[in-house]
Amino acid sequence: MNDIVYARKGNLDKQDIITNSFIVAEKAGITHKAVKNQIVKYFSDFEEFGRVVFKKDTFDTEGGMQEHTFYELNEEQATLLFTYLRNTEQVRTFKKKLVKAFYTMRNELVKRTETRDIAKIDRKNLTDMIVDSGEHERMHNKGIPNYTNLVYKSIFGMNKKQLCENRGFVYEKDMNLREFLNTEEIEKVRQREVMVTEFIKLGYDYSQIKNFLKVK
């Protein structure tokens, strides 16, 4: 959602909002080594607020692939970390930004849950319409996945599998891709599914709807 906090594994359904030691060091103007040293020194304190996750990541540089290690921190752990850092102006400035970022992400999760609850109803209306209209059977029992991909392609320019892989997730046939979409994207999908449901209700078939949506 932003460059300060994020949902672990990108899955907003988990409601596991975190930052990490690398981000804190970069934004607060402190060496990453100093930040990690504080976490290690007071590790048991951080563990009181949840498991501290140790990560390794690789990145490309002019000298080749490099690896750095960092710690993932939830909101309470990040707040605790600041009590162990020197209260410089840059640290105070970033601390305020971090508080706002966690608040914004929590609000996003609430809105997203509300939007998803509504979207689930419209999704069921679409799948029921595909089956009841005979489209699912006519398309050799592939009507639901075909229309699902049509919806995604009309919005993102990619089908479900392509969109999943584009965002760095391992594709699974029965996965719920909406778990990895933000509120605005879920709403776009919901509105498009309502539109497709109405088209089918009016008697249009897959090819006609595909042309209406200008999907190649």
Tens-digit pLDDT profile for residues 18-69: 999 999 999 999 999 999 999 999 999 999 999 999 998 876 666 677 788 9
| pLDDT for the residue numbered 1 | 41
- For the cut 80, the answer to whether the pLDDT of residue 2 exceeds it is no
- Between the alpha carbon of residue 154 and those of residues 17, 25, 163, the distances in Å are 30, 41, 12
Q: Which of 36, 69, 86 finishes a domain?
A: 86
Within-domain flag for 142: yes
The pTM for the full model equals: 0.68
109 located within any domain: no
Residues 158 and 196 in one domain: yes
Tell me the torsion sign for CA atoms 65, 70, 74, 76. Answer: negative
* Tokens coding 126: 């679409």
In tens, the pLDDT along 119-174 reads: 999 999 999 999 999 999 999 999 999 999 999 999 999 999 999 889 888 888 88
Domain that holds residue 170: 114-212
Burial class, 47, CB count within 10 angstroms (exposed 0-12 / middle 13-18 / buried 19+)? exposed
Residues 43, 127: one domain? no
- pLDDT for position 106: 87
Number of domains present in the structure of the chain: 2
